[in-house]
Structure 1
Amino acid sequence: MINLNKTLEEVKDWAREVGEIQKDNFGKQDLKISSKTTEIDLVTEVDEMSEKYIIDRIRERYPEHGILSEEAGKDKENTEYMWIIDPLDGTINYAQGLPIFAISIALQYKKETVLGVVYLPMLDEMFQAIKGEGAYLNGKRLKVNDRRDLRYCVLATGFPYDRAEDDDNNVNYFSNFVPKVKGIRRMGAAAYDLANVAAGRLDGYWELKLSIWDIAAASLMIEEAGGKIKYIPNKREHSIVAGNKDICNKIYDEINNLSYEEDLTTFS
């Protein structure tokens, strides 16, 4: 197995270098933007530049490894090591000139995430984790919040890109949670939301229809910070709940109970 501590330092350097590309182009008036699956599922030229930079570094340093990236897809099958990349998580924020966006890089070994980095260029916040060695933010060890009562929790969530076309769009769950918690935040970058759960800044998180590159790095951070990730059954792609064990289970139960009640209504 490769030396993960050495690799982590390389990945942090790549993230900072990509962060400079993103900062240099932030607020650019003639930024090239196109859409993917829907009109609000955007990709910019900076997403593509960032992705190319990271992929080039991986191929130079680890040519035998596989890579799965948001824009480029997967380039190898049946490799022990697989890099999972979201070069610019929060593209809508970036295109709007909102300074909350992240670079997320994870490394899996035999399909298990063993290393993760989430970097916020505009905030200069470097979240990092190695499996079994804890999670850190700018050198400070992270621990999930220990709240147990949803009434005192601040949660985060988001909404899928196809929310106008598919009724399973999180609006019902959001409405259910609003009167039951202290607050809900929607920051527009799933990797950052999850990293903030690991840091104890947020008490919990849920979202539907995420992709593996949204969650791979930050999910490891939550686990290394003493938290828990649960997958919501019978949902599309990666639909998850996160928090400390108690809050994760309570969010999960709220969603499951609401789904069950809806099913009874539908088929009665």
Structure 2
Amino acid sequence: MTPHAADLQDRFALAQKMATEAGAVALAHFNARERLVIETKADPHDVVSIADREVEDLIRTRIAAAFPGDAILGEEYGVSSGTSEYTWVIDPIDGTSPFVNGMPTWCISIAALRGEEIAIGVIYVPCNDELYAAADGMGAALNGKTLKLDGSRTIRNAVTGIGANNHVTPATVASIVEKLLDAGGNFIRNGSGALMLAYVAAGRLVGYYEPYMHAWDCMAGYCLVKEAGGWHHPFPVKGDGLTKGSPVLAAATGAVNDLRAIAGL
């Protein structure tokens, strides 16, 4: 094994270990959520709790101990610079609104970029004990079982995930839904973009589209979809692009053209 491959393997192993450890911490808070102090961010539906911050602290601490030269971008604490070619991109709890409202559709999302390429994607769903894991050239798996997408699935014989937030107008969301339904498709929204991207990689959804999403919400899912044989719209990572929002679209091959037309991408 080359040093380059060994570096990736070591970080991939750490990502999976961190995800399950962080998931246990988050699940303990979830099961005692009546004691959580909830704060709002940009709007009443954009919330954060001590659980989010504690989980991100844990992940940052583990990364700093194992790979002190790596940069880290996290939803709660922003960017810390590094000296290596790796940048970790983490969402401590994606789906905080479902989390604080007692729904199981939330997850821990951990990704790592090597240069400008997504090299690692790990998503852990504590309520279901599901670990989605992928690394560049190593494929994607769910709890150790290889994930491979079915190219015969389309928007008309499968379900598409749709995301929305305060960055997107209600009219825009309504237009997306209308176009998808007019094309013969159907949709769900479960409150976690990262989890719905994992569902695309697992073949549970045929695609996922959100007009505006941050890197910490989508990087791990993008890696999973790519390694499972799907396609994703590029996310801008050069310069300060990684810290800004972008349209996010990922799909199995049979749904790509339809969803790109619906999204205008």
Same fold (TM over 0.5): yes
Distance in structure 2 (CA, Å) of the matches to 1:152 and 1:61: 45
Alignment map for 1:1-268 (pairs within 5 Å): 1=4, 2-27=6-31, 28-76=33-81, 79-147=84-152, 149-163=154-168, 166=169, 169-230=172-233, 237-256=245-264
Over the matched positions of the two proteins, sequence identity in percent amounts to 32
Question: Structure 1 residues 112-121 or 147-156, which shifts more?
Answer: 147-156
Distance in structure 2 (CA, Å) of the matches to 1:58 and 1:102: 19
Distance in structure 1 (CA, Å) of the matches to 2:204 and 2:72: 31
Any conservation in 1 of the 2:154–2:206 contact (CA below 8 Å)? no
Q: Is there any run of 5+ residues in structure 2 with no aligned partner, and where?
A: 237-243
Distance in structure 1 (CA, Å) of the matches to 2:230 and 2:133: 15
Distance in structure 1 (CA, Å) of the matches to 2:204 and 2:69: 38
Structure 1 residue 14 displacement after superposition: 1.2
Any conservation in 1 of the 2:18–2:62 contact (CA below 8 Å)? yes
SS in 2 for 1:202: coil
Distance in structure 1 (CA, Å) of the matches to 2:149 and 2:72: 30
Distance in structure 2 (CA, Å) of the matches to 1:219 and 1:107: 11
- 1:63-114 CA-to-partner distances (Å, cap 9, x unmatched) read 1110000010001166411010001000000010001111011111112111
Any conservation in 1 of the 2:73–2:89 contact (CA below 8 Å)? yes
SS in 1 for 2:261: helix
Distance in structure 2 (CA, Å) of the matches to 1:162 and 1:138: 34
SS in 2 for 1:152: coil
Distance in structure 2 (CA, Å) of the matches to 1:181 and 1:197: 19
Q: Give the TM-score normalised by structure 1.
A: 0.88
Any conservation in 1 of the 2:167–2:212 contact (CA below 8 Å)? no
Any conservation in 2 of the 1:153–1:181 contact (CA below 8 Å)? no
Computing the radius of gyration over CA atoms, which structure comes out larger, 1 or 2?
1
Distance in structure 1 (CA, Å) of the matches to 2:129 and 2:41: 29
Q: Give the TM-score normalised by structure 2.
A: 0.89
Q: Is there any run of 5+ residues in structure 1 with no aligned partner, and where?
A: 258-268
Question: Aligned AA for 2:188?
Answer: R
Any conservation in 2 of the 1:144–1:243 contact (CA below 8 Å)? no
Structure 1 residue 149 displacement after superposition: 4.2
Distance in structure 1 (CA, Å) of the matches to 2:235 and 2:221: 18
Any conservation in 1 of the 2:70–2:82 contact (CA below 8 Å)? no
Alignment RMSD (CA, Å): 2.1
SS in 2 for 1:129: strand
Question: Aligned AA for 2:36?
Answer: L
CA 1:113 to 1:136, structure 2 compared with 1: closer, same or farther past 3 Å? same
- 1:122-155 CA-to-partner distances (Å, cap 9, x unmatched) read 1000000110110010111101232354321211
SS in 2 for 1:193: helix
Give the number of aligned pairs. Answer: 253
SS in 1 for 2:150: coil
- 1:52-71 CA-to-partner distances (Å, cap 9, x unmatched) read 00001111111111000001
Structure 1 residue 240 displacement after superposition: 2.1
